[in-house]
């Protein structure tokens, strides 16, 4: 197996590109894919301050590393979700990476700062954990970006993530979500409250859309980045993972299918659903407690805190969808 560029020994084969690469040219391939995504979708302008949402997994750490390698002014932000050993190890991986690169990592701990955690929120609200988790992460990262004066928030969603979400949205014809499934969500200016106009949502971008999960994992291994390998224990049994498995089966039979599905959607169909997303929010005003934009008196995050805070922590084992034997381990370079 030879590298497609230098003909040296290859370390990875990329069937969907019909090419093999040595370590150096694979790392270059990853950076080039990110440059292309950023350029094609006008994600980040030179000189802008970027806040990377860091989980401690392969995608967010690869993203942070690549943005730094490309010369972007990128700092990190991580949220302690309180999901047992998984969260502890995730935070450790994020902190270790930030220390190694000498970059600032903002930290919020749900239990310490807001007196709840994700397993407890799931138990109290009787909804799947990812519901309160996604809401908490979105709210706190947006808030941190606005308060910290960052121009843009970058998240580590990769091609597999986006294709799986698209698959689910198409299966159920969630047209409003299809209208929002874009690699860039523009910032929004509003007059939340009585004050003058200001940014109420930061711009959000997904620079890893041209890289598959296997590629971000290989990137981290080749760069010697320790990341948390285990999937979140609360994701077991969720639909997103089943859609990924289904798409992996299609991809194995037809390399490039995932890419064709997702980029075909962006090129041919995404704009057709934009009207379904526009106006779905209704009139926005300021949350009575935190000032975030909302359609009601209190934003969804403040309502979640009201319900979930102050309860004794509920152990992960009591909330996780299915009992399993997932192990915690770290990548070794």
Applying CB under 6 A, the residues found at the interface with ligand Q46 are 81, 118, 129-130, 133-134, 232, 234-235
**Whole-number Cα distances in Å, 308 to 10, 110, 223, 290, 304:** 51, 11, 40, 17, 6
Backbone angles phi, psi at 214, to 5 degrees: -60, -30
Binding to Zn ion (CB under 5 A): which residues in 233-292? 287, 289-290, 292
Question: What count of other Cβ atoms lies within 10 Å of the Cβ of residue 27?
Answer: 18
Which C-beta is closer to ligand Q46: that of 57 or that of 202?
A: 57
Which C-beta is closer to ligand Q46: that of 242 or that of 272?
A: 242
* Cα separation, 281 vs 185, whole angstroms: 14
What does 5 interact with, of Zn ion, ligand Q46, none (CB < 5 to 8 A by kind)? Zn ion
Question: Which DSSP helix (H) or strand (E) runs through 6?
Answer: none
What does 130 interact with, of Zn ion, ligand Q46, none (CB < 5 to 8 A by kind)? ligand Q46
Structure tokens that stand for 28 in this block: 């270059």
Which C-beta is closer to ligand Q46: that of 22 or that of 53?
A: 53
Which C-beta is closer to ligand Q46: that of 1 or that of 241?
A: 241
The answer to whether 118 and 84 are in contact (CB under 8 A) is no
Binding to Zn ion (CB under 5 A): which residues in 9-28? 22, 25
- Taking Cα atoms as reference points, which of 68, 126, 72, 143 lies closest to residue 98? 68
What does 23 interact with, of Zn ion, ligand Q46, none (CB < 5 to 8 A by kind)? none
Structure tokens that stand for 330 in this block: 């770290």
**Nearest approach, Cβ of residue 60 and ligand Q46 (Å):** 10
- Taking Cα atoms as reference points, which of 59, 103, 107 lies closest to residue 81? 107
**Nearest approach, Cβ of residue 321 and Zn ion (Å):** 29
Which C-beta is closer to ligand Q46: that of 232 or that of 304?
A: 232
Question: What count of other Cβ atoms lies within 10 Å of the Cβ of residue 262?
Answer: 25
* Cα separation, 2 vs 305, whole angstroms: 55
What does 89 interact with, of ligand Q46, Zn ion, none (CB < 5 to 8 A by kind)? none
What does 232 interact with, of Zn ion, ligand Q46, none (CB < 5 to 8 A by kind)? ligand Q46
Binding to Zn ion (CB under 5 A): which residues in 287-306? 287, 289-290, 292, 299, 302
What residue ranges bind Zn ion (CB under 5 A)?
3, 5-6, 8, 22, 25, 287, 289-290, 292, 299, 302
């Amino acid at each position: 197996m030879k590298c497609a560029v230098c003909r040296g020994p290859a370390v990875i084969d990329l069937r969907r590109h019909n090419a093999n690469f040595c370590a150096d040219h694979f790392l270059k391939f990853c950076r080039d894919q990110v440059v292309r995504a950023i350029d094609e979708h006008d994600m980040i302008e030179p000189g802008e301050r970027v806040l990377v949402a860091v989980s401690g997994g392969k995608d967010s750490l690869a993203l942070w590393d690549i943005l730094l390698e490309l010369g972007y002014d990128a700092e990190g932000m991580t949220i302690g979700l309180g999901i047992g050993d998984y969260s502890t190890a995730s935070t450790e991986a994020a902190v270790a990476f930030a220390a190694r690169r000498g970059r600032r990592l903002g930290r919020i701990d749900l239990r310490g700062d807001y007196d709840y955690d994700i397993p407890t929120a799931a138990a109290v609200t009787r909804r799947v954990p990812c519901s309160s988790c996604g809401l908490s992460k979105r709210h706190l990262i947006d808030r941190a970006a606005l308060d910290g004066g960052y121009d843009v928030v970058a998240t580590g969603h990769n091609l597999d993530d986006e294709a799986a979400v698209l698959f689910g949205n198409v299966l159920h014809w969630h047209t409003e979500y299809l209208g929002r499934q874009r690699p860039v969500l523009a910032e929004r200016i509003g007059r939340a409250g009585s004050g003058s106009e200001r940014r109420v949502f930061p711009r959000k971008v997904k620079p890893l859309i041209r890289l598959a999960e296997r590629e971000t994992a290989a990137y981290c291994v080749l760069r010697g980045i320790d990341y948390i390998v285990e999937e979140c224990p609360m994701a077991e049994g969720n639909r997103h993972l089943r859609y990924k498995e289904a798409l992996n089966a299609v991809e194995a039979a037809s390399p490039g299918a995932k890419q064709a599905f997702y980029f075909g959607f962006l090129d041919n169909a995404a704009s057709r659903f934009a009207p379904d997303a526009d106006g779905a929010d209704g009139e926005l005003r300021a949350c009575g407690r935190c000032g975030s934009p909302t359609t009601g008196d209190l934003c969804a995050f403040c309502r979640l805190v009201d319900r979930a805070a102050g309860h004794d922590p509920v152990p992960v084992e009591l909330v996780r969808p299915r009992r399993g034997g997932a192990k915690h381990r770290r990548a070794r370079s």
